[in-house]
Structure 1
Amino acid sequence: MSRFAVLATAFCAILASVSGSPVATNETVTLEKRITHTGRGTWYEVGLGACGYNDIDSSYIVAISHEIYNNGGNCNQYMRIENTANGAVAYGQTRDECMGCDATAIDLSPSLFQALGADLGEGVLSLSWHFMSKDWKP
């Protein structure tokens, strides 16, 4: 093989490794820490919620504890909710405050409660849940 072919191959290899390298920017990316909570889930008939929206029972709505309501700072944020008994997962939108819920308990719209594989007659579920990133939508 000629020297030119060896040099051309080496040059192509270097060029390929550089073009696959990440590009440095001045942007700072902040990753949100995801905390998974476990707690009790109940259902309620939705309506005008603390976030100021008039919702209906067929929407996937969540009321969170007054302890984490954050003066409305969590309004409209989606949550991933899992029924720990059967593994069913659904996503609900935070639109209300639950004054009677402890920090890890949530109230769900009837349709969201049923989407987790439960009958309304059950009344209470064991759940795990976490907030999705602020800009996430299903």
Structure 2
Amino acid sequence: MRLIIKHLYLHLLLLTTFSFSISESDSNLINSFIFRRGTYSGEGTFYAVGLGACGQVNNNEQMVAALPAQQFDHLTSKKACGSTAVVERGGKHVTVKIIDRCAGCQLGDIDLSPAAFQELASPKEGRVHVIYTLHL
């Protein structure tokens, strides 16, 4: 792990100092690190929970969520399904289980079950800024 972090640090240092192309394998390493270990900032929304991309039927009262398609697909359902995320807004937080893929979400967004959304905001708000940390 230290080697990956050192490798990532050197690439980021070089990117801020020089302009050049990085190889596809280095790009994959950086993307993999970012998608796995990041804290994300974006829009929190809610949706009607049912049969999700992980193949399980869940309901609106459970603390569950859907990741953006780009992120879910990068991780593969094997890694994404069942992972957890701690979602925060204005001093409130909720821990959710990842059970679905959100086709309409941008990287940084997260689509929550109605119950999870209500832990952070009123459903009348509909869309709120959140920060979440993904735990694989």
The TM-score with structure 1 as length reference comes to 0.68
Q: Which residue is 2:48 aligned to?
A: 45
Distance 1:101 1:95 in 2: 15
Is residue 78 from structure 1 mapped to residue 81 from structure 2 by the alignment? no
Match of 1:114 among 106, 118, 131: 118
Q: Which residue is 2:100 aligned to?
A: 96
Distance 2:39 2:134 in 1: 8
Name the one with the larger helix percent: 2
Q: Which residue is 2:133 aligned to?
A: 130
1:33-72 to 2 correspondence within 5 Å?
34-70=37-73, 71-72=76-77
Structure 1 residues without counterparts, runs of 5 or longer: 1-29
Deviation at 1:90, TM superposition (A): 0.7
Distance 1:100 1:66 in 2: 8
Q: Which residue is 1:16 aligned to?
A: none
Distance 2:122 2:40 in 1: 22
Deviation at 1:96, TM superposition (A): 0.3
Distance 1:100 1:125 in 2: 15
The 3-state SS of whatever aligns with 1:69 is: helix
Give every structure 1 segment of 4 or more consecutive aligned residues whose post-TM-superposition deviation is greater than 3 Å: 30-34
Deviation at 1:34, TM superposition (A): 3.3
The TM-score with structure 2 as length reference comes to 0.69
Deviation at 1:93, TM superposition (A): 0.5
Structure 2 residues without counterparts, runs of 5 or longer: 6-32
The 3-state SS of whatever aligns with 1:64 is: strand
Deviation at 1:37, TM superposition (A): 0.8
The 3-state SS of whatever aligns with 2:71 is: coil
Between the two proteins, the alignment pairs up a number of residues equal to: 101
Distance 1:54 1:77 in 2: 16
